C-alpha cells in the first residue's frame, strides 16, 4: 500500500529524519510513537508532501510518487489526513466541510456529494450536527467532522497526526472510538499518537521513532511488553508515569 524507502529530511542544517524505511499494507493500522521532537509529524507530513523530503522514495499502490504537481495531487487524493488542530473550514457547516472533497476535488454533483457527506457524518455520529458551523461544535465533535471529511474522499489510507492531543481528556474517548470502528472495518491507518493504550489495542505494527530513526518496530506486544531499546524503555516508563 505505502512503502517508504530511506527517507531523509533536513530543516536547514538540522537532519530531522535520518533514513526512514517503513511499509504499510492494506487494512493495517500502524502507530508511530516517540518523544517530542523525534520527527513523527515530519515523517507523516513527508508522506503526503506537505513537507518536501530531501532524499528517499515514496511508493503508493506500487507506484513511485515523483515530485511533480500531478503526482502529488494524485497521491493526496488517495492519502487522507486528520490534523491535531482539526483545521476545519470555519466558513462551511459540518456537512459542507465533509462535502467539499467530493464536490470540488472529485467533481461529484451536489446531490451525490451531499449524500456521501451525510453518510460519513452519520458514521461518526454527527448526523444531527450537519448544519452547525465548526465554531459551535466541541473539540471532539470537530475532530470527528475532520475524520468524516477525510473519509469522504474515500482514500486508501488516512494519516492521523496526534488526533486527540488538542482535546480535553473527557472528549478523547469519542474520537478514539470512531477510530477503533474504522480500524475494525479495515481502514488502513497511520497514526501518530501519545495514547499508548489505544496504540496497544488497535495497531498491527508500532514504530518507535527516536532522533529521526526508527529505533524499534514490531507488534504492540513486542513494543510494549518486550521493549529492547533503552530509549524505548525509558520512554514507556515516562509515558506510564504521566498517564
Ligand X SMILES: Nc1ncnc2c1ncn2[C@@H]1O[C@H](COP(=O)(O)OP(=O)(O)OP(=O)(O)O)[C@@H](O)[C@H]1O
Least separation in angstroms between residue 166's CB and another protein is 11
Select from 25-33, 35-43, 82-90, 108-116 the region that touches another protein (CB under 8 A).
Answer: 82-90
Burial class from Cβ neighbours inside 10 Å (0-12, 13-18, 19+) for residue 21 reads: middle
**Strand pairing partners for 81?**
159
Ordered strands of the 55-60 beta sheet = 14-24, 2-11, 55-60, 63-64
What is the size of the binding site for another protein (CB under 8 A)?
Answer: 28
Contact code string over 17-56 relative to ligand X, x by CB under 6 A: -----------------x-xxxxxxx--------------
Which residues have CB under 8 Å from 191's CB, separation 6+? 29, 30, 31, 32, 159, 160, 163, 179, 199, 203
Q: Is 242 in the site for ligand X (CB under 6 A)?
A: no
| Grid cell locating 3 | 512503502
C-alpha dihedral (101, 102, 108, 114), degrees to nearest 10: -110
Of 4 and 232, CB closest to another protein: 4
Contact code string over 24-53 relative to another protein, x by CB under 8 A: ------------------------x-x---
| Grid cell locating 103 | 464536490
Contact code string over 164-203 relative to another protein, x by CB under 8 A: ----------------------------------------
Of 26 and 136, CB closest to another protein: 136
What is the size of the binding site for ligand X (CB under 6 A)?
Answer: 10
**Strand pairing partners for 157?**
79, 188
What is the DSSP-derived secondary structure letter of residue 100?
H
Of 41 and 93, CB closest to Mg ion: 41
Of 160 and 224, CB closest to Mg ion: 160
Q: Is 16 in the site for ligand X (CB under 6 A)?
A: yes
* Binding residues vs ligand X (CB under 6 A): 11, 16, 34, 36-42
Amino acid at each position: 500500500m505505502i512503502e517508504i524507502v530511506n527517507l531523509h529530511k533536513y530543516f536547514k542544517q538540522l537532519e530531522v529524519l535520518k533514513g526512514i524505511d517503513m511499509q504499510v499494507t492494506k487494512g493495517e493500522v500502524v502507530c508511530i510513537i516517540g518523544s517530542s521532537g523525534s520527527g513523527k509529524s515530519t515523517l507523516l507530513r513527508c508522506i503526503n508532501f506537505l513537507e518536501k523530503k530531501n532524499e528517499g522514495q515514496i511508493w503508493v499502490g506500487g507506484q513511485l510518487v515523483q515530485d511533480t504537481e500531478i503526482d502529488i495531487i494524485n497521491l493526496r487524493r488517495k492519502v487522507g489526513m486528520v490534523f491535531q488542530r482539526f483545521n476545519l473550514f470555519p466558513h462551511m457547516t459540518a456537512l459542507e466541510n465533509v462535502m467539499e472533497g467530493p464536490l470540488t476535488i472529485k467533481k461529484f454533483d451536489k446531490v451525490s456529494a451531499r449524500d456521501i457527506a451525510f453518510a460519513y457524518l452519520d458514521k461518526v455520529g454527527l448526523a444531527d450536527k450537519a448544519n452547525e458551523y465548526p465554531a459551535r461544535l466541541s473539540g471532539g465533535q470537530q475532530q470527528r467532522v475532520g475524520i468524516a471529511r477525510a473519509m469522504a474522499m474515500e482514500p486508501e489510507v488516512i494519516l492521523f497526526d496526534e488526533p486527540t492531543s488538542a482535546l480535553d481528556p473527557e472528549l478523547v474517548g469519542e474520537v478514539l472510538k470512531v477510530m477503533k470502528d474504522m480500524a475494525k472495518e479495515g481502514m488502513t491507518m497511520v497514526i501518530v499518537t501519545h495514547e499508548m493504550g489505544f496504540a496497544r489495542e488497535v495497531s498491527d505494527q508500532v514504530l518507535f521513532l527516536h532522533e529521526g530513526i526508527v529505533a524499534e518496530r514490531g507488534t504492540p506486544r513486542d513494543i510494549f511488553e518486550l521493549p529492547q531499546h533503552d530509549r524505548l524503555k525509558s520512554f514507556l516508563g515516562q509515558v506510564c508515569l504521566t498517564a
